[in-house]
Amino acid sequence: MPVGIAGSTLCAELNRLANGGTYPARTSFKDSKGAANAWAGTSGLGIIGALNKKASAGRAPSAYKALNGICNELAGTTNKSAVDALRTIES
């Protein structure tokens, strides 16, 4: 199964995950917010909100984790930057 490419951007990784684990054509890229919502199955949320809902649908905004924390939670990693954590997720 594919994983992210070293040096890819956060936006690229969110698009890869929203596209089932493969990078879509650049002409099909969404902005980071749109890709996060697409991956999380949400709409209208910011990146942080969408990713927290992806991790736990019932998580209240008062319990949201920051970007690095939520990306590490989703990836099952610790102490990585958000994009490095997302690169480890297969799909």
The 3-class secondary structure across 19-69, one letter per residue, is CCCCCCCHHHCCCHHHHHHHHHCCCCCCHHHHHHHHHCCCCCHHHCCCHHH
pTM, full prediction: 0.94
Distances (CA, A) of 57 to 40, 54, 69, 73, 83: 9, 6, 16, 14, 22
Render pLDDT for 15-73 as a digit per residue (tens, 0 to 9). Answer: 999 999 999 999 999 999 999 999 999 999 999 999 999 999 999 999 999 999 999 99
Please compute the mean of the pLDDT values over residues 78-83 and round it to a whole number: 97
Domain extent listing, the chain: 10-87
Q: Tokens representing 53?
A: 């809902």
- One-letter amino acid at 8 equals S
pLDDT given for residue 2 in this prediction: 59
Q: How confident is the model at residue 4 (pLDDT cuts 50, 70, 90)?
A: very high
Longest pairwise C-alpha distance within the chain: 36
- pLDDT over 70 (residue 11): yes
